[in-house]
Amino acid sequence: VIDLFSDSATQPTQPMREAMAYAEVGDEQRGLDPTVNRLLSMICSMLGKEAALFLPSGTMCNAIAIKVLTNPSESILVDRLSHILRLEAGGAAMWSGVVFDQLPTTDGTFTADDVLKALPAPSVYSPPPTVLCVEQTHNIGGGTVWTLAEIASVCQAAHRAGLRTHMDGARLFNAVVASGVPASQWCEHFDSVWIDFSKSLAAPFGAVLAGNKQFIEKARRYKQAFGGSMRQAGIMAAGCIYALENNIERLAIDHENAKFLANELGKIPGLKVLTPEPHSNMIFLDTSGCGMNAESFLKNLQQLGVTMCRMDDRVRAVTRLGISKEDCARAIEVVQQVVASGAARAR
Ligand SMILES: *Cc1c(COP(=O)(O)O)cnc(C)c1O
C-alpha cells in the first residue's frame, strides 16, 4: 500500500529506533532526564527562545499555550481553517473557557487588516481578544507557507493591539526548508511557539513548546495538571533529537515529490489540483469533475493500493519519509486508472 494519508504515518527508521533504545534516561517529571534536557536546549537555540517544555503531542502544546496566555471568557483569533479550531475537539474552549474568533481565509493565511477588523471596540459586551494564532505551514489551507513579511505584519498588528501571538508550528521545519528562512526568524514574531516531531520530522511522538522563561514556568504547572509530565521520556526525546539531526534537510525531497504529484495529476482530465504549485509536502484535489465525490474516489484508490485522506469535500495527499518518487509515480498511475474507470462508467 502507498500511504499518502498523512506525514503522521511515518515510521521510525532503524537508526532512529537504535538511538531511542540506547538513550540515557532519568525522571523527566523532576527535570532529571538528560536526553530530554539536551533536546530542549537544542530547540531553544534553533528557535531562538529562552525556555522550552517537552510534551507528548502538539495538541497538548496548543492547549497549554492557550491556557497560559488567556483567562476564561477571552477570545482567541484563529483562522477559520486552523487545526486548533477544526481538529482539537474544542480543547481551547474546554480547558481555557475561551471563544474562537474566526478570521477569513482560503489558504490559511490572512492579513493585518483582517486582524484589525476582527478587534472589537473595547466595551463590556465583547469578549476581549488576547491571542492571535498562526499556523505555519498551514495544513487544511493546503500546506501553505506564510512569507516572513506576512507573518511580521499580522504579528505586529496583534502586538500593537495588545494581543499575544502564538504559532502552531507543527510543520515549521517544512516552512524553513521551503523558504530558506531559519526557524529562529519565524519564531521571533511569536510569544509562544511549538513544533511537532510526529509529523514530517518522522519521530513516533513528541512535541516541544517554547517561549520566554516566565511563559514556560507557567506552562510547566499546566503540563503537570494536564497529565503531560512523564518519566523516562529520554526514549522519546532521543527519537526527536535524531529527527532534528537527520530529517530536516530531507524535507526538500518531500516537497519535490509533492510538486511531481501536482504536475502529473494536473494533466488528468476532470481532476482538479487545487494546489498546482504546492508550497510544501501536501496537495489537495477536487474530484467532482471526474464524476466521483471524495469518498468514492478514495474508496476506489484504496482498492488499488493507494491511500489518501478526505478533508471536507476535498482529497489530500501528503508526501513524507518512506514515500519515494517511484511510489508517487505508482500513485499517479492508480489515480489515472480510477479517473478513467469513472469516466467509462459515466459513458
Ligand atoms: C497534527 C497537527 C496538530 C496536532 O498535533 P498532534 O501531535 O497530532 O497532537 C496541530 N496543528 C497542526 C497544524 C497539525 O497538523
Q: Is there an atom of ligand 1 within 6 Å of 196 CB?
A: yes
Q: Is there an atom of ligand 1 within 6 Å of 88 CB?
A: no
Q: How far is the CA of 170 from the centre of ligand 1 (A)?
A: 6
Residue 151 is classified by DSSP as H
- How many other β-carbons are positioned within 10 Å of the β-carbon of residue 64? 28
Q: Closest Cα to atom 2, ligand 1: which residue? A: 170
Beta bridge mates, 55: 207
Q: Is there an atom of ligand 1 within 6 Å of 58 CB?
A: yes
Q: Which residue in the block uniquely carries the three cell numbers 484508490?
A: 301
Q: Is there an atom of ligand 1 within 6 Å of 57 CB?
A: yes
Instruction: Give how far Cα 165 sits from Cα of 30, 131, 271, 277, Å.
Output: 29, 6, 38, 29
- C-alpha grid cell for residue 172? 515549521
Cα distance between residue 108 and residue 29, in whole Å: 36
pLDDT at 261: 98
Beta bridge mates, 77: 101, 132
- C-alpha grid cell for residue 183? 526557524
Q: What angle do CA 288, 279, 331 make, to 5 degrees?
A: 50
Q: How far is the CA of 267 from the centre of ligand 1 (A)?
A: 32
- C-alpha grid cell for residue 294? 471524495
Residue 196 CA: nearest ligand 1 atom is 7
Q: How far is the CA of 83 from the centre of ligand 1 (A)?
A: 7
Q: How many helices (H) and strands (E) does the chain have?
A: 14, 13
Q: How far is the CA of 171 from the centre of ligand 1 (A)?
A: 9
| The model's pTM | 0.97
Q: Is there an atom of ligand 1 within 6 Å of 207 CB?
A: yes
Q: How far is the CA of 166 from the centre of ligand 1 (A)?
A: 14
Cα distance between residue 7 and residue 122, in whole Å: 42
- C-alpha grid cell for residue 11? 515510521
pLDDT (tens digit, 9 = 90+) per residue, 12-68? Answer: 999 999 999 999 999 999 999 999 999 999 999 999 999 999 999 999 999 999 999
User: Are the C-beta atoms of 108 and 140 separated by less than 8 Å?
Assistant: yes
Each residue's pLDDT, cut to its tens digit, for the chain (347 residues) gives 999 999 999 999 999 999 999 999 999 999 999 999 999 999 999 999 999 999 999 999 999 999 999 999 999 999 999 999 999 999 999 999 999 999 999 999 999 999 999 999 989 999 999 999 999 999 999 999 999 999 999 999 999 999 999 999 999 999 999 999 999 999 999 999 999 999 999 999 999 999 999 999 999 999 999 999 999 999 999 999 999 999 999 999 999 999 999 999 999 999 999 999 999 999 999 999 999 999 999 999 999 999 999 999 999 999 999 999 999 999 999 999 999 988 777 77
